[in-house]
């Protein structure tokens, strides 16, 4: 079920145009990915750290976007609402049809130990997380320069 929700949020993300809705979809997708990682490892500490890092980065991006694009109007699209309403029964049907194979896969994945977190499958996630933190830190420093950035005081 979580895989289908991740797929659905990825599909809906492509239709978003407003920065607030894009950041909201990234946040929702981060929650689903954190839940999936937590159920795979049987320990939610790594997924909790991942979620906190992503929320911290999203807060910086949200602050930047509200200062840059503060006058844009946020409207919900009827087309997007219809797609979301149609996707819900399809997701439920897919969950019922594909429940057996996912259970077999999850039983094999649940045997992973926490000490395997930094081994081959997850080391790219750790590296991407480190790069994301570095870029977020650099962007925060650049954005908060008092004389140049978009967060400067306006007279």
How high is the mean pLDDT of the chain? 73
Position 152 scores a pLDDT of 55
Taking alpha carbons only, the member of 133, 151, 145, 127 closest to residue 58 is 133
Global pTM reads: 0.55
Q: What is the pLDDT of residues 59-95, one digit of tens each?
A: 877 777 777 666 666 666 777 677 777 777 776 776 6
Q: Measured between alpha carbons, how far is 14 from 109 in angstroms, rounded to an integer?
A: 30
pLDDT (mean) for 17-31: 81
> Which token pair is 101?
């194979």
Q: Which long-range contacts (CB under 8 A, 24 or more apart) does 50-58 make?
A: 50/129, 53/129, 53/132, 53/133, 54/26, 54/27, 54/30, 55/27, 55/30, 56/136, 57/132, 57/133, 57/136, 58/23, 58/26, 58/27, 58/30
Q: What is the pLDDT of residues 115-136, one digit of tens each?
A: 666 677 777 777 887 888 788 7
Q: Measured between alpha carbons, how far is 96 from 4 in angstroms, rounded to an integer?
A: 11
């Amino acid at each position: 079920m979580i895989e289908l929700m991740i797929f659905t949020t990825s599909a809906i993300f492509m239709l978003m145009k407003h920065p607030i809705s894009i950041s909201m979809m990234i946040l929702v997708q981060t929650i689903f990915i954190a839940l999936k990682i937590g159920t795979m490892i049987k320990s939610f500490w790594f997924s909790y750290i991942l979620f906190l890092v992503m929320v911290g980065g999203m807060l910086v991006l949200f602050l930047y976007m509200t200062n840059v694009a503060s006058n844009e109007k946020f409207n919900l699209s009827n087309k997007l609402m219809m797609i979301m309403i149609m996707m819900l029964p399809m997701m439920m049907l897919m969950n019922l049809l594909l429940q057996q194979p996912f259970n077999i896969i999850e039983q094999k994945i649940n045997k992973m130990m926490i000490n395997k977190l930094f081994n081959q499958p997850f080391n790219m996630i750790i590296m991407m997380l480190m790069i994301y933190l570095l870029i977020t830190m650099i962007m925060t420093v650049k954005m908060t320069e008092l004389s140049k950035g978009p967060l400067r005081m306006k007279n």
